[in-house]
Amino acid sequence: MAKHFGTNGIRKKIKELTPEFVSGMCSSFAETIGKRGRIILGRDTRTSGEMVRGACIAGFLSSGCEVIDLGVVPSPTVEMEVLNLKADGGCIITASHNPPEWNALKFVDGKGLDVSKDRGEEVEKHFENGKFERADWDKIRGVENYSRALQDHEDKIFQMTDVKAIQKKKFKVILDCGNGTTGLIAPGMFRKLGCAILTLNCQPDGFFPGRNSEPTEKNLGDLISAMKNIRADLGIAWDGDGDRVIFINEKAEFIMGDKTFALCAQQEKRKKVVTTVATSNVIKDVSGEVIRTRVGAPYIAEKLFEIKGDMAGEEVGGVVWPEISYGKDGLITAVKMLEFMARNNKKISQLISALPEYHNYKMKVECASEKKKEAMERLKEQIKNAQGEKNYIDGVRIDFNEHEWVIARPSGTENFIRIFAEAKTLEKAEKICKEYEIKVKEIVQKA
């Protein structure tokens, strides 16, 4: 089992992410990608970013790698440049939406795939041994500062978009960058698309003074009230590193991430789509084939690559566009939403409400982390003879019929087992969810 790698790289409070640890991990990663590779480096707006960057560079250079530093950029920009600049790997210094005292190393392999918890074990083996090849004095290479990355990313997005159709509409949009990295690219990009823009928290700031960095409905109160007061066409909010994006419609209503994903797949006519076991069935109704994976961005990316799929996405508000990269890209997703509105001559609420309707209900049951495994085993045993199709890819999912299902899965980071149910009506979703809450509670008590 990986000790340091989690679902999204090595995420820790900065006190634990010491320069020694960071440089050692980067040298360990260098061992796994082959000697003297080219590494694309980028970081988010955190106060610790510059310090961690120094330690990353020391680790990579001492291993004989060449570093191409993009500076402060969104995570999807790094993932794109690994492919674009034909690098051997990448390293993103970002703790995504975590509080400001956190930071993380997210490694990307030469195919542009994030290194998952499973694949991180190999990196950790080198780290634990402490044996890295160190380059000789005459083999140590340098750092190239590459300042075109944001422009490259914008160019790529515009190549894939009907820019003129959007420009004609002169949309009014409110951008909430959450003091993260999208503040460096989004305002300019939406202006070029002919939009009248209003900005919230678009100045990068590692203290995240504007709002909590995760784009949940609770954290987006300011954007939602701005949408109520100003009659804009779309409200857009990113997380700290710009892979996740959430939309607020023209009626100031929050749009769930899986609806955004479904709209992208439907409008772009994507047939072979990858998502997690915890995502709404709406995606099944609007695409062709849906392949489900464990919950976590690296797993959907790996599967998308393996099957050469057309698109991937997660319910938290992230869509992967394989023409650009294998990382979730909140920037192209945002631009595409405007394109869908322009192309169909419809408001965003109309496009979303035209999707097949599903309702969800979520609950959580407290469960100590050491009890999680046994509790899940007991649940599997208990539902063995229950009606419906069972799936154990991640937790326990039961599809009772085409439209109704429930999943119970242990949280990766908190002491909970999460339960999520979906049905055609909210009453039914709630009923299923509560039934399973009772089951799980009983099981946890016994575990």
Q: How far is the CB of 6 from Mg ion (least distance, A)?
A: 13
**Token pair in block for residue 205:** 């700031």
| Part of the chain binding Mg ion (CB under 5 A), chosen from 61-69, 114-122, 234-242, 292-300 | 234-242
Which one of 81, 243, 302, 310 is in contact with Mg ion (CB under 5 A)? 243
Note whether 176 binds Mg ion by CB under 5 A. Answer: no
97: which 2 tokens?
Answer: 């939406």
Q: How far is the CB of 78 from Mg ion (least distance, A)?
A: 12
| Residue 96 designated active-site | yes
Tell me the C-alpha distance between 419 and 315, whole Å: 14
| Of residues 50-109, those binding Mg ion (CB under 5 A) | 96
Q: Output the smallest distance, CB 435 to Mg ion, in A.
A: 33
Q: Which is nearer to Mg ion, 9 or 235 (CB)?
A: 9
Site membership for Mg ion, residue 276 (CB under 5 A): no
Identify each DSSP E strand in 129-171 by its residue range: 143-145
Which residue's structure tokens are 């290194």? Answer: 115
For residues 332 and 351, which CB has a smaller minimum distance to Mg ion in the complex?
332
Instruction: Pick the catalytic residue from 62, 63, 96, 213.
Output: 96
Specify the pairing of strand 389-391 against strand 396-399.
antiparallel
* Interface pick for Mg ion out of 31, 69, 81, 241 (rule CB under 5 A): 241
Q: How far is the CB of 243 from Mg ion (least distance, A)?
A: 4
239 binds Mg ion (CB under 5 A): yes
Place of tokens 């039934």: 435
Least Å distance, CB 105 to Mg ion, is 14
Beta bridge pairs of residue 313: 275, 319
- Residue nearest to Mg ion according to CB distances in the complex: 96
End-to-end CA distance of the chain: 23
Tokens of 351: 């496009």
Closer to Mg ion at the Cβ: 28 or 96? 96
DSSP string, 165-216: HHHHH--EEEEE-TTSGGGGTHHHHHHHTT-EEEEES-S--TT--SS-SS--
Question: Is the separation of the CB atoms in 409 and 395 below 8 Å?
Answer: yes
Counting residues that bind Mg ion (by CB under 5 A) gives: 5
Which residue, chain included where needed, has tokens 């992967």?
A: 320
Q: Segment near Mg ion (CB under 5 A), from 25-33, 37-45, 233-241, 375-383?
A: 233-241
Q: Which two tokens stand for residue 48?
A: 């610790």
Residues forming the active site: 96
Q: Site residues (CB under 5 A) for Mg ion?
A: 96, 239, 241, 243-244
